[in-house]
A = this chain, B = another copy of it.
Amino acid sequence: MTYPRYTSLARSLPANVPFVGPETHERARGAPFAARIGANENGFGTSPRAIAAMRKAAGDIWKYGDSQSHDLRAALAAHHGTEPANIMVGEGIDGLLGYLVRLIVGPGDAVVTSDGAYPTFNYHVTGFGGVLHRVPYVDGREDPTSLLAKAAQVDAKLVYLANPDNPMGTWHSGTSVVAAMDALPEGCLLVLDEAYVECAPEGTAAPIRPDDPRVIRLRTFSKVYGMAGARVGYAIAAPDLIEAFNKVRNHFGMNRAAQAGALAALQDGDWLAHVQRKISRARDRIAQIAQDNGLYALPSATNFVAIDCGGDGSFAKAVLDNLIQQGVFVRMPFVAPQDRCIRVSCGPMDQLKIFAAALPSALEAARG
């Protein structure tokens, strides 16, 4: 007898991992990275007020966090002009996606996403036995029209759209997303991942009523707020859907210091604006580095830039592998044709300088 007796679903799951972490790379290569610009972390750092709040809360870490994340939810509701009943705080968008998929997707249920979109969403769908249907990107962007057409065709329970998109950095206007939602099939929930929206152009966030039962929006403190290691994300949705999370979530799962830090980060608009400016300049700099090497950088509404290396996926992979060897942590899309690119996170100029110095020889090695 197999010991223990896993469910048939668990036995069927692959043991793969959506992402290899930078520390795992570093242990494999036996040396730290010189530039950590691969995981779309915010190298410009965290709000000093948030850091101070976390340091203060460390002295109280013997207490469990507030199971309702009351103060943070109240502040988020005020920030977005919603009610706290529209907000669910969770262990990053990854954690919230897991709960959401668990609530809605069972074995055989159809889910639609773009081919090459966020792998961790796919990981959860597969993990709960859902069947993924993928539509191609169109011109480097996720395509709401074909996503919703596919959703209607396969009777999808969920359709995933990231706006702005990861891994390409492309985006749609919020109004065009709302317009596309007219084609959302009945009973299909739009999962609108807005992880990067704080560094997108004005008008990218979709103007959606918080009580609209057709959509759940996901936000995070991991990206522009610079708190990836804290694990704080949140969902905005109709109160019934928010309440449903209470059936399955880890009620005391939030780190107490992270709750305090996120609240302070939300209240530090000056730091947010500072980071937004830094990201904007870093995007320009990365585009310039690409151009200096005869490559094309895709316009980006995120804190990273996809650089088209001018070849196919195996060429971009060779460039990436060489960069990793040189101590530059970057990543690349997993799926063709997006995998012609490498993806470089916005970081301080000294980090980008290391990237700029390494790129020519990486390209040469890949060509040779």
Contacts and interface: CB of A to CB of B under 8 A. Distances in A.
A24 B98 CA distance: 25
A139 B45 CA distance: 56
Identify the interface centre among A4, A65, A226, A258: most chain B CB within 10 Å of its CB. Answer: A4
A102 interface: yes
A30 interface: no
A229 B60 contact: yes
Nearest to A61: B229
Contacts of A158: 4
A58 B243 CA distance: 31
A246 interface: yes
A80 interface: no
A18 B243 CA distance: 15
Nearest to A10: B103
A286 interface: no
Interface in A37-51: 39, 41-46, 50-51
B228 A64 contact: yes
A166 to B, nearest CB: 14
Contacts of A228: 61-64, 252, 256
A104 B227 contact: no
A241 interface: yes
A183 interface: no
B68 A24 contact: yes
Interface stretch (A89-97, A167-175, A308-316): A89-97
Given A1-B186, A5-B104, A14-B247, A41 B63 contact: yes
Nearest to A1: B187
Contacts of A253: 91-92, 94-95, 231
Contact of A246 (B15, B189, B241, B257): B15
Contacts of A91: 91, 250, 253
A235 interface: no
A257 B45 CA distance: 15
Count chain B CB atoms within 10 A of each CB in A3, A19, A229, A254 and give the residue with the most. A229
A81 interface: no
A228 B61 CA distance: 6
A214 interface: yes
Interface residues of A, number: 90
A256 B41 CA distance: 13
A13 interface: yes
Contacts of A354: none
Nearest to A44: B62
A127 B247 contact: yes
A322 interface: no
A255 B252 contact: no
Given A18-B251, A67-B24, A253-B231, A213 B4 contact: yes
25 contacts: A4-B187, A4-B188, A5-B104, A7-B104, A7-B105, A7-B106, A10-B103, A13-B247, A15-B246, A17-B67, A21-B66, A21-B252, A24-B70, A51-B59, A54-B58, A54-B61, A61-B229, A62-B228, A92-B252, A92-B253, A94-B250, A95-B253, A229-B257, A230-B256, A257-B257
Interface of A: 1-10, 13-15, 17-24, 27, 36, 39, 41-46, 50-51, 54-55, 57-68, 70, 91-92, 94-95, 98, 102-106, 109, 127, 157-158, 186-189, 213-214, 222, 226-231, 241, 243-244, 246-248, 250-258, 261
Q: Which 5 A-B pairs have the closest CB atoms?
A: A229-B256, A21-B67, A4-B189, A23-B66, A62-B226
